[in-house]
Amino acid sequence: MTTVKEEEDIFEIVDYTTASDWERFIARIEEILSEWKLNGPETSNTEIDFADGEWIERNESLEFGDRSYTIIHFSLQIPETTSSSLPTENNPQMTTSSTFEKQTFIPPRAMADMMSRRNDFPSHSPFLSHWFGLREFLILSPKRNTDPIIDESRANLLLSSTAIAVSNVGCNVPIFIRVQHEWRKIFIGLCEGSGLRTHFNICYLKSAPHQYRHLAGLLEIFKSKLGSQISNDIVIMVAVRFTYVLREFESTSSRQVLPQDETGIPILTNLPFGSLYDPVSGLHLSCTWPIFSEEGVTENDDCNDFDPIRSQQWAIGVTLLEDLPVLLSDAVQKYLNLSTKRETVEQLLGKIQNVDETSNNSMNMADPIKRISDSRTQQYWTSISSSISNTTKRLRVNIFNPPLPPNIVEKTTDYLFNERPIFERRQSIVDELPNDTERIRQLKSVPKDSFVYRLVVCFTAICSLPSINHLRSIAHLWFDIVQELRTYWETGKLIPGLESGSPNLSFSKFYQNLQMLNCCIEHRLRHENDTINIDNNPMEQDNNDDDDQFYECSSNISPSKSNQTELQPDGRLKPYGDLKLLHTNEILYVPITQECPPATEDMLDEQTTVLTNLGFGEDATLLRAKMQSRSLLSDMESFKAANPLGTIEDFVRWYSPRDWIETEEIDNDGNIQKHYSLSPRMQLPDNLWVEVWQQARPIPVRRQKRLFDDGKEAEKILQKFSSLSPGEVLEQLIPVLLHTIYDRITNEIEDIPDVLGFLENLYAKEVLIIKGKDERKKKLQQDFVECLTSIEQYICRFQSFKQKLFPLDLNEQEKEEMIQRITELHTRPEIPVKGAANSRLGKRLISIFTKTKSSTTNQVDNGDSIEVKNQFMTPAGKEYILRASIARPSHSRSRPSPQRMYCMLAQDEFRLCGAFSEDTTFF
């Protein structure tokens, strides 16, 4: 019994001073509001334009029991220079009734924003700002979308908790609680300050009841929410906006298609540009009636006073296709990817069959013997094997399962080898086109419309073709081009689209190789012409029968026998001024010499490597000098043939005047005595010039060995081209690709001002690719493609805007305005239409958004009179804002407070957003 009594006396002590989860939740909200400095009254009711600002978000996480929440703060940051200094109470646009304007207290900024007409229907703002006209607000929502606030008790608990928190810290910023599922966008909220409290509620339905699809029904809802406090002198102000959406356009010319000929064959002679899809997927027109009283306009089932043509505020906006695919950027990306491949032509095309041509190849196969035995050809071909090799390679080639149809390859090859004037090397091009010249030099590119320029265009066009193997197709075309180049070499036809003369080292190495091939062809043609001249002179032909070497050059002077060469002058071009030989006093003649052998940058690099590998000793230096003295030996032999009695001093006077020193002295008699001598470097022991002079024989240029073996050099170039893989060809042509892209973009921008800055950025990225290191090139190329994509998309959208919205017959001022409007469409959700329906743009929009409607009237002259008129399409969305300033809850004792309701009617959405305020001073 004693134990039971002791147990009854024991009781549990509960410490009610420990904070509960609910209290910690409220404290956490107060802490966040204090950190964000929202714990003070907002007294600045400065009028601002939401379009001038930028929305800033910040968020924090907090816990309530076992659930996690996120509180987000949305605020509009406005530059100080764009904000107005007029407060709400002095600006009539901030209120809708004189009662609210003349109140003696300053309401919270959120309540002033609700009544401001300046930011009705903002085009770019969060949806709560759009619905309630707020510039700042808070949202409390579950952290996980899988935990929505569905039950009413939980929503009310959170709302009351936030109400306590904002009241404790004195926060006047509205706070909303997200309820229901996120996609429904339903909130409840409140705002307190200056003795006023505003309740925010949202109603969402998928379709509007029939009686509430017009203004009359919405006014009934608004008045019912206000209750019995509405007196006869209260005026409800209304703002309305109708939005018309067009998603199907009659004209589709803004869509680009891959070029094809009349038979449907793809054309590979132009760089692709544009998009296969219309970049503008939708166009909307918003007509606004900004302010009127409820008695001013009628809209019900029987009458509608909202005629969009009579609206004085129009705005247009576009819906752009996201991630617009563009042709040029896509082709360039594929081109760059293929340039890293190293599969050979044989690996890509498989077995290649060589088949003798049935008509002429039987004769061609017999040609080598004939050509070898021909004395004229003997002077040209360096060996029997060279002649046979170049003849047997002229065979027709069959490719099994070719990736490109033969007609496409044939047309493309004709485009590349189309006969056109040979480019002349002009010094004035630097003055005529300084920007182009500098660009070619920076990019190491080629002249515009040259053979290599066109070749890159064709390769890039192939990369834009759908449903083909791009690398195999490029290999196919490249194989045919190499065969055609060999044909041009063997038939002695100059390759079109190349600058004449020796290789220009300022152009790409690929272009230099083709120039070298043309130099070989020119040498061959010159030799054939000289051979014909010799054939026409029997004496020349007999003398050549005694020769046992191959020669390149000939002169118009008849050759002598070898034993007469030292006595008879030969190979003279012209007298060298008034100079005479030093020892015989005969005229000094300029000899006919061989041209300086042309060289490409690759050849010069190869020669430099060979000379560098010789070392740096005396023997290496001497050997290096002898290797570089071939041209000197040829010129000395030509000089000795033209001036048999000449000396090395005479040669130096002509060949290197700076090494011939003349001095004058006055003797004892006062006469001027002239003294001549070689320069000190020419008098050094073991002088190379003296050694070469001693070795040189008097041989005219036509009997000398060629310094430039065109057959050998041509075969080296053709073999090099044949051994290149398609990927290596593409890689070598990347500088030219960048040049063609720049030209293509330049042709497309026309009068688009903002693209000029983009174009400079694009060119800067091109230069970085050319000068960048190999390990960084992939990243630089990717940056370049992204930049190119943005520019191409911008141009496509600009052209689409221009075609859809603006007529062609615009004057200069209208064109400037048009460009400005199009530019704004890229950066703003919508732009105003000045003059609304009365402007040229407005008339164009009327023609787009109206549909033709026929109506039959009374019969006239035994027939039906048909009246045709244009009617605006049905609005895709209608928005209404209803405002009033009413004293609530007591009409006689409460201060007037702002009341607002926003309504949106769309095809699949009906939304009511109410913000109703009441005075809490005595209630």
The two structure tokens encoding residue 465: 């073709």
Q: What is the mean pLDDT of residues 510-516?
A: 92
**Domain-embedded: residue 298:** no
862-874: buried (b, 16+ CB within 10 Å) or exposed (e) per residue? eeeeeeeeeebee
> Are both 634 and 683 inside the same structural domain?
yes
DSSP code per residue over 834-870: TTGGGSHHHHHHHHHHEEEEEEEEEE-SSSEEEEEEE
Range of the domain at 521: 328-348+396-527+713-795
Single-letter residue type at 391: T
Mean pLDDT of 577-583: 86
* pLDDT at residue number 546: 40
Q: Which residues contact 96 (CB under 8 A, 6 or more apart)?
A: 115, 117, 235, 237, 291, 883, 884, 885
Q: Which of 762, 795, 828 is the last residue of a domain?
A: 795
Same domain (yes/no): 483, 521:
yes
279 pLDDT exceeds 70? yes
Angle between helices 509-535 and 538-545 (to 10 degrees): 110
Q: Which residues contact 195 (CB under 8 A, 6 or more apart)?
A: 105, 895, 919, 920, 921
Q: What pLDDT score does 739 carry?
A: 94
Quick check: 772 pLDDT over 90?
A: no
| 178: pLDDT strictly greater than 80 | yes
**With pLDDT > 70 as the criterion, what percentage of the chain qualifies?**
76
Beta bridge partners of 901: 882, 914
Tell me, yes or no, whether 783 and 645 share the same domain.
no
- End-to-end CA, the chain: 60
Lowest mean pLDDT segment, chosen from 572-576, 724-728, 864-868 = 864-868
Which residue, among 184, 187, 186, has the nearest Cα to 175 in the 3D structure? 187
Q: CB–CB of 409/481 below 8 Å?
A: no
Q: Does residue 552 carry a pLDDT above 80?
A: no
- Token pair in block for residue 613: 């590998």
Let me know whether 660 and 723 are in one domain: no
Write the pLDDT tens digit of every residue in 801-816: 888 888 777 787 888 8
Evaluate whether residue 33 is within a structural domain: no
pLDDT of 583 above 70: yes
Same domain, 426 and 522: yes
* Predicted model pTM: 0.75
Note whether residue 821 is domain-resident.
no
Q: Give me Rg for the CA atoms of the chain.
A: 45
The neighbour count for residue 78, using CB atoms within 10 Å, is: 17
Domain membership flag for residue 737: yes
In a domain, 566, yes or no: no
Do 767 and 690 belong to one domain?
Answer: no
For 621, the 3-state DSSP assignment is helix
How high does pLDDT run on average in the chain?
79
Give the separation between CA 885 and CA 883, rounded to whole angstroms.
7
pLDDT at 42 (0 to 100)? 62
Verify that 412 and 519 share a domain, yes or no: yes
Do 406 and 344 belong together in one domain?
yes
* C-beta atoms surrounding 596 within 10 Å: 10
Is 754 a member of any domain?
yes
Tell me phi and psi for residue 290, to 5 degrees: -70, -40
Question: Is residue 70 over pLDDT 90?
Answer: yes
Task: Answer for the pair 247, 107: CB distance below 8 angstroms, yes or no.
Answer: no
Is residue 672 in some structural domain?
yes
393-428: per-residue pLDDT in tens? Answer: 444 456 667 888 888 888 899 999 987 655 555 443
pLDDT tens-place string over residues 116-146:
888 899 888 899 999 999 999 999 999 988 8
Among 697, 724, 757, residue at a domain's last position: 697
Q: pLDDT by residue (tens digit) across 630-682?
A: 788 888 888 999 999 888 888 988 988 888 888 777 777 767 777 788 888 88
Q: What is the mean pLDDT of the segment spanning 373-382?
A: 39
The string of pLDDT tens digits covering residues 31-60 is: 999 999 998 766 556 777 787 788 999 999
Question: In which element (H, E) is residue 354 found?
Answer: strand 352-355
Does the pLDDT at position 863 exceed 70?
no
Instruction: Answer yes or no: do 336 and 461 share one domain.
Output: yes
In sequence order, the β-bridge partners of residue 269 are none
Question: Do 421 and 465 fall within a single domain?
Answer: yes
Q: How many domains does the chain have?
A: 2
Rounded to whole angstroms, the Cα distance separating 461 from 741 reads: 12
Does the CA dihedral 259-260-266-267 come out positive or negative?
A: negative
**Cβ atoms 768, 780 nearer than 8 A:** yes
- Residue/partner pairs of 650-655 with CB below 8 Å, 24 or more apart: 650/581, 650/582, 650/588, 651/693, 652/678, 652/682, 652/689, 653/579, 653/588, 654/576, 654/579, 654/588, 654/590
Give 211-239 pLDDT, tens digit per residue.
899 999 999 999 888 876 677 778 899 99
Q: Is the pLDDT of residue 732 over 60?
A: yes
Last residue of a domain, one of 753, 778, 795: 795
Domain presence at residue 551:
no
> 342 and 451 in one domain?
yes
Pair 332, 481 in one domain:
yes
Distance CA 633, CA 691 (A): 10
Share of the chain above pLDDT 90, in %: 32
